[in-house]
């Protein structure tokens, strides 16, 4: 039987993970079996750069943290060699990076995740990864707003050029 100090350490680990999950925008659970050390190192660096925390922990501890946060449905995916990627601010960051590596490494699989307090399956995580990042979406929106204005300005200029008239200068008093 484990000592009280070991139990206290494990309870603290579970509490810390549960707190991170509670304060995050999204998270993804993966089966990392079969990934090479080189690919794993590159993936962890990409996750860090995206502001995502990647944690490899015993499935029982991760499951207890999921229960504490209300994501008990995730426990069914916690078999084998699993890890959880937690994104504090960007709901698509973890999904994007992990999908890139899941496409490269055949044995590396996305299992499930959560976003906005809802547990989602692997298909929804992959769909989430396809969403462009916030900056791209803003640029597309601004481009779509700007396009009709430019078209209108070009049409007005064409009318002015066709009539051959220059704008009238104000008369001096």
Which CATH number do you get for residue 42?
3.30.70.1730
CA dist., res. 42 & res. 47, Å (int):
9
- Would you say residue 19 lies in a domain? yes
Task: Name the packing angle between helices 93-104 and 37-49 (round to 10°).
Answer: 160
Structural domain total, the chain? 1
Residue range of the domain that includes 28: 4-129
Domain-embedded: residue 146: no
pLDDT per position in the chain (173 positions), as tens?
668 888 999 999 999 999 999 999 999 999 998 888 999 999 999 999 999 999 999 999 999 999 999 999 999 999 999 999 999 988 888 999 999 998 888 888 999 999 988 999 999 999 988 888 778 888 888 888 887 777 878 788 888 888 765 555 665 65
Tell me if 70 is assigned to some domain: yes
* Cα(125)–Cα(69) distance, integer angstroms: 19
Q: How many CA atoms lie within 13 A of 89 on its CB side?
A: 7
Cα distances (angstroms) measured from residue 148 to each of 45, 119, 156: 42, 40, 12
In a domain, 157, yes or no: no
On whether residue 162 sits in a domain, the answer given is no
Q: Is residue 145 part of a domain?
A: no
Please tell me whether residue 65 adopts helix, strand or coil conformation: helix
The CA distances from residue 35 to 42, 43, 82, 109, in Å, are 11, 10, 12, 10
Residue 65 lies in a domain: yes
92 is a domain residue: yes
3-state secondary structure of 130: coil
* Alpha-carbon gap, residue 129 to 97, rounded angstroms: 8
Sheet of 52-56: strands edge to edge? 52-56, 82-87, 26-31, 109-115, 118-121
pTM of the model: 0.75
- In the three-class reduction of DSSP (H, G, I as helix; E, B as strand; rest coil), residue 56 is classed as strand
């Amino acid at each position: 039987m484990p000592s009280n100090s070991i139990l206290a350490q494990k309870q603290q680990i579970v509490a810390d993970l549960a707190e991170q999950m509670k304060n995050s925008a999204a998270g993804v659970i993966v089966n990392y079996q079969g990934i090479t050390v080189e690919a794993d190192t590159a993936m962890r660096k990409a996750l860090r750069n995206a502001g995502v925390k990647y944690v490899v922990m015993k499935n029982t501890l991760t499951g207890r943290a999921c229960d504490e946060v209300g994501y008990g449905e995730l426990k069914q995916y916690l078999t084998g060699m699993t890890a959880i990627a937690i994104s504090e601010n960007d709901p698509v960051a973890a999904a994007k990076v992990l999908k890139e590596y899941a496409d490269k490494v055949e044995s590396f699989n996305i299992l499930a995740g959560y976003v906005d307090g809802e547990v989602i399956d692997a298909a929804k995580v992959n769909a989430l990864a396809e969403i462009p990042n916030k900056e791209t979406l803003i640029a597309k929106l601004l481009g779509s707003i700007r396009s009709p204005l430019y078209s209108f300005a070009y049409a007005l200029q064409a009318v002015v050029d066709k009539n051959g008239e220059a704008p009238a200068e104000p008369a001096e008093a």
